[in-house]
Structure 1
Amino acid sequence: MEGKYFFNNKDITMNLCIQIRDVIDIIKERDHLSFQDAAGAFYHSKTYQALQNTENTLWAESAGYIADRFYEEQEQKEL
């Protein structure tokens, strides 16, 4: 099976999937949401779009850092 995400010609698909799961778990716990609702919120965010751009190396940051970026984005939407 061929990966979907690459960085410097290395398959990082599993790394990215783990990051996505961990960020969704943080959102789920912090906001008391179901996994599906937390995933939906994250998947429709600019943070998720940025995470898929492997060249910016956001995927290499901790799940907590990525979740913080997600919450910053949500705060900007509220302004």
Structure 2
Amino acid sequence: METIYTFNGEDITMLMCVVIREVIREIAKRENLNFEEAFYDFYRSDTYKTLRETENALWAEPAGYIADMYFAEKQKKQVVCA
């Protein structure tokens, strides 16, 4: 597997893939979406962009915590647009 994500010089690509998958599963479960729909929504979020910045170590948090961040972001955007 190609190295895509690193932390302190270590390859964490596989771990990031697992974390991303678990976050998407949590989003899909909470919003009653299929995996692909949840993936698309998460992929476009600022939370996903933050997660990709591995030096902040957000990837080390539980998937539920990251999903909570996603939902807080989504709610904030809905309030601003309303």
State the TM bucket, normalised to the shorter chain. over 0.9
Which segments of 5 or more consecutive residues in structure 2 lack a partner in the other structure?
A: none
Q: Percent same amino acid among aligned pairs? A: 51
Instruction: Tell me the TM-score normalized by structure 1.
Output: 0.96
> Could you tell me how far apart the structure 2 residues matched to 1:15 and 1:70 are?
19
How many pairs align?
A: 79
In the alignment, which residue of structure 1 is the partner of 2:27? Answer: 27
Query: What SS class does the counterpart of residue 69 from structure 1 fall into?
Result: helix
State the Cα deviation string for residues 10-61 of structure 1 (Å, max 9, x = none): 0000111000000000011111101110000000000000000001110111
RMSD over aligned CA atoms reads 0.7
> Could you tell me how far apart the structure 2 residues matched to 1:13 and 1:73 are?
25
In the alignment, which residue of structure 1 is the partner of 2:12? Answer: 12
**CA positional deviation for 1:2:** 3.2
Which segments of 5 or more consecutive residues in structure 1 lack a partner in the other structure?
A: none
